[in-house]
Amino acid sequence: MWEHLRRWLFDIPYTDPLERRQAVLIELIELGKLVVVLALLPLPLLATGSLLGRTLIAGLMGLIALAAWLALAMVRRGRLSAGVLLSALSVTTVLSVILYSNTLEAGAVTIFAFAVPLTMAGVVAGRSALLTVLAASLLGVSTAVILLRIGAPGAGFAASGDTTVATLISFVLVAGLLAFIIDGLSTLTREALAGRRARERELETMSRRLELAVRERTADLEIALGALEQRAADQAHLIKENERQRVTISGLSVPVLPLGKRTILLPLVGEMDDARLAMVGEQALGAVERLAARRLLLDITGVPVIDTYVAQSLMRTLYAARLLGAEVALVGVRPEVAQAIVGLGIDLGSMTAFADLQSALG
């Protein structure tokens, strides 16, 4: 039975843990009110006293039962604040009528009981509900006091001569109910605070782990950046070294060989492209000027193919050297080279040509 009741209590449409626990607490309070009111409902009809008083008390108990049932239905449908506000207002109304039905001297416990709906509304339903119940309480107490002062009909009809036992029983019931509400709500608050602190500690732990991971990642990135900078510096050094080697190799690919005080030899080996043809011109003319050479020998024995373009470039170099005052000679002229030169219509004039280096030197 208790397991069925527990499942029924927790079968409510709330996802927030704190709100869910509050809803269960309000359900228990409303169910308790229903059980108590239904159990005590026949008593006013069987008690002695005026018919009006007994009827009014029975009506108040019926009002409490109806409000408890409606509030319970609202809470179970997901309207927690509205259900709590309805329950608090109904209790406030009943307490105001009870205060009116007693004298002010016997109303101390009733005024103390107004703390119950104020506590429920303020802690569970929020500030607006608290202000609403507070206004209703002030209105109810003020109305009851005014009616008692002016001696309105029916005022103090429930007052009796000796109210000690009734006051004590009422105080115990009200104080017990208030203690139950405060204990339940304070327990929920402590659990919520404990959960929040646990989440904060978890977040703090995650933050420290994330900070440590960021530090490690930053250190790795700094190491990688240092390695990248070193690699870039090494690559820059290699590029400079390659450029220097390229210049050296280019110079060695067109060497200038002094054969005497006034004779220089430029032996060409390999295929001739635009870059090497330009280098031939620079080396030949530079050597003629630098060494004050009077004779330039251009050896093309090692050039496998000489087409029209290569022949024209070589002839331009030789003519330029002649303009600098050097006697020029073309060494290593093969038949196909001779045909290319003739095909170009080049007039060798005072330029000499030799089949090999030995003939040129002889």
Residue given tokens 């869910």 in the structure block: 20
If we measure between CA atoms, which residue out of 260, 320, 266 comes closest to residue 294? Answer: 260
Task: Write the pLDDT tens digit of every residue in 74-92.
Answer: 888 888 888 888 888 888 8
- Using pLDDT thresholds of 50, 70 and 90, give the confidence band for residue 17: confident
Mean pLDDT in residue range 272-284: 84
Higher pLDDT pick, 146 / 184 = 146
Report yes or no: 311 and 340 within 8 Å, Cβ to Cβ. Answer: yes
Q: What is the pLDDT of residue 169?
A: 55
Q: Indicate the average pLDDT of the chain.
A: 78
**Would the pLDDT of 203 be above 80?**
yes
**Would the pLDDT of 164 be above 60?**
no
Q: What is the pLDDT of residue 168?
A: 53
Q: What angle do CA 96, 38, 126 make, to 5 degrees?
A: 50
Report yes or no: 133 and 88 within 8 Å, Cβ to Cβ. Answer: yes
Q: What is the pLDDT of residue 162?
A: 46
Provide the terminal-to-terminal Cα distance of the chain, rounded to the nearest Å: 131
Mean pLDDT in residue range 232-261: 77
Top-confidence range, 94-103, 147-156, 231-240: 231-240
Q: What is the pLDDT of residue 311?
A: 79
Task: Write the pLDDT tens digit of every residue in 306-343.
Answer: 777 887 888 888 888 888 888 888 888 777 777 777 77
Higher pLDDT pick, 1 / 359 = 359
Higher pLDDT pick, 191 / 218 = 218
Q: What is the pLDDT of residue 350?
A: 58
Q: Is 131 left (phi over 0), alpha (psi -120 to 50) or beta?
A: alpha
For 201, the token pair is: 């500690």
Q: Where are the alpha helices (DSSP H) in the chain?
A: 2-10, 17-40, 43-46, 51-76, 80-101, 108-113, 115-120, 127-150, 164-253, 274-291, 308-323, 335-344, 357-361
Hey, is 218 helix, strand or coil? Answer: helix
Top-confidence range, 57-71, 92-106, 148-162, 334-348: 57-71
Q: What is the pLDDT of residue 124?
A: 79
Give the lowest-confidence range in 35-44, 117-126, 169-178, 284-293. 169-178
Q: Where are the alpha helices (DSSP H) in 102-163?
A: 108-113, 115-120, 127-150
**Can you list the domains of the chain with their CATH numbers?**
2-204 (no CATH), 257-361 (3.30.750.24)
